[in-house]
C-alpha cells in the first residue's frame, strides 16, 4: 500500500491541541500516529523546537506519516510499534519522559475503506483485520481454530452480541465443511443465523461480530489498559494525556483509569484516618466526555462516535 493511498481524517483536532497545549521545546508521544494529521498540528504548535515521537502498528500509516511529517525533519521520529510498548521504545531513543501523550484509538478511515484489510463487509475480501499486517493471527485464523465457547465469549464481551452462542455454533458447524475465509462469507453466515437477519435495519446484523473479531485479533482493550498505565509513568509532572475512544468498551477503561488515578485516598469511608497512602497522580481536565461538534460530524461522519478525555500529571 503506497503512502499516497492512505487516507485518515484526524478527529477533534482543535480539542486535541487545546488539551495538549503544545509549547516550544516540549516532547510529545503520538502513540497512534495514523496518517500524521494530529502529529503535524502538534509539531506546528510546538515550533520551533518541539519534538514528537510517533508510533503506529500499521506500516501503511507510517509510510503516509513519514511523507506528511518530512518537512519537520529531525523534530519528528517515527517508529513501527504498539503504543503499549512505549516504555520500551522511548528509552531506546534517549527519551525518559514526555510532556504530552495522544492516543487516537480504533481503526482509521483508510483501514475501514481498504477492502483488502478485511475490516468491513462492504466488499467480499480476505478476513484479515490485523492492524499490523506483519504479525499475528488473522480473523480467519481465529474463526478456524477457536472453540465455540471461545468464539461466543469474543462476540459477547467485545461486541455485546445478543446471539453470540448461536453464531459461534454455526461457525464451528460450517467450518467442518469449508473454511470461512472472506468477509462476505462471515457476513452472510451471521445474517442467516440471527433472527430477522434479512429485515431492513439501521445496521447490518454482522456489525457487532466484525467489531468483536477486530478487537480480539488486535488485542485492542488489553493494549488500551497497558498503554494508559505505562503512559502515565512516561509523563513529566504537568504533562497532559489525551485519549480519543470510538466505542464504549475503550472509553470505560479510560474513564475508570482516570478516576482511579485522580483519587487521593481509596480507604473505606468508615476508617477514621487514611491507611492506604495513595496520592492522586492525575488531575482530570475533562469533567465530562468531549464529543465532536455537529459541524465536524457533517464533514466526517465517523467522528460521531468519538469520545475525548484528558488528564494532567500531578507533581
Q: Using one digit for the tens of pLDDT, what is the confidence trace for 208-239?
A: 999 999 999 999 899 999 999 999 999 999 99
User: pLDDT averaged over the chain?
Assistant: 90
Task: Tell me the domain boundaries of the chain.
Answer: 3-104+220-313, 118-218
Task: Give the whole-angstrom CA distance, residue 167 versus residue 174.
Answer: 10
Residue with cell string 452480541: 161
CB 203 within 8 A of CB 194: no
Mean pLDDT, rounded, for 112-124: 71
3-state class (DSSP) for residue 109: helix
Cis ω for the linkage preceding 295 (within 30 of 0): no
Q: What percent of the chain has pLDDT over 70?
A: 93
Element (H, E) at 30: strand 27-30
Q: What single DSSP character describes residue 291?
A: E
Question: At the topology level of CATH, where does 118-218 sit?
Answer: DNA polymerase; domain 1 (1.10.150)
Lowest mean pLDDT among 74-78, 148-152, 237-241, 278-282: 278-282
Q: At what angle do helices 13-20 and 37-45 cross, to 10 degrees?
A: 40
Mean pLDDT, rounded, for 94-121: 79
Query: Residue 2: what pLDDT?
Result: 41
Residue with cell string 500529571: 313
CB 76 within 8 A of CB 54: yes
Say whether domain 3-104+220-313 belongs to CATH 3.40.50.150: yes
- Provide the grid cell at 155: 462476540
Lowest mean pLDDT among 106-115, 149-158, 253-262: 106-115
Amino acid at each position: 500500500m503506497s503512502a499516497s493511498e492512505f487516507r485518515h481524517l484526524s478527529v477533534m483536532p482543535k480539542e486535541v491541541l487545546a488539551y495538549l497545549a503544545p509549547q516550544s521545546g516540549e516532547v510529545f508521544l503520538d502513540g497512534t500516529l495514523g496518517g500524521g494529521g494530529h502529529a503535524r498540528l502538534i509539531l506546528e504548535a510546538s515550533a520551533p523546537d518541539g519534538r514528537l515521537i510517533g508510533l503506529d502498528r500499521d506500516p501503511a500509516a507510517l509510510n503516509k506519516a513519514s511523507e506528511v511529517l518530512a518537512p519537520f525533519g529531525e523534530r519528528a521520529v517515527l517508529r513501527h510499534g504498539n503504543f503499549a510498548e512505549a516504555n520500551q521504545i522511548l528509552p531506546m531513543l534517549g527519551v525518559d519522559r514526555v510532556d504530552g501523550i495522544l492516543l487516537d484509538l480504533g481503526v482509521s478511515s483508510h483501514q475501514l475503506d481498504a477492502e483488502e484489510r478485511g475490516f468491513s463487509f462492504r466488499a467480499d475480501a480476505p478476513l484479515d483485520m490485523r492492524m499490523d499486517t506483519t504479525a499475528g493471527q488473522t480473523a480467519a485464523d481465529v474463526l478456524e481454530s477457536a472453540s465455540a465457547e471461545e468464539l461466543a465469549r469474543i462476540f459477547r464481551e467485545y461486541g455485546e452480541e445478543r446471539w453470540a452462542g448461536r453464531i459461534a455454533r454455526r461457525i464451528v458447524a460450517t467450518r467442518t465443511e469449508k473454511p470461512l475465509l472472506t468477509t462476505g462469507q462471515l457476513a452472510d453466515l451471521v445474517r442467516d443465523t440471527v433472527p430477522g437477519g434479512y429485515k431492513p435495519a439501521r445496521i447490518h446484523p454482522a456489525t457487532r461480530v466484525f467489531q468483536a473479531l477486530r478487537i480480539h485479533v488486535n488485542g485492542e482493550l488489553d493494549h488500551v489498559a497497558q498503554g494508559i498505565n505505562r503512559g502515565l509513568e512516561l509523563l513529566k509532572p504537568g504533562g497532559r494525556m489525551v485519549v480519543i475512544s470510538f466505542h464504549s468498551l475503550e472509553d470505560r477503561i479510560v474513564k475508570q483509569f482516570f478516576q482511579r488515578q485522580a483519587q487521593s485516598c481509596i480507604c473505606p469511608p468508615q476508617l477514621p484516618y487514611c491507611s492506604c497512602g495513595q496520592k492522586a497522580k492525575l488531575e482530570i481536565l475533562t469533567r465530562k466526555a468531549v464529543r465532536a461538534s455537529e459541524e465536524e460530524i457533517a464533514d466526517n461522519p465517523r467522528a460521531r462516535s468519538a469520545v475525548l478525555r484528558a488528564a494532567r500529571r500531578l507533581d
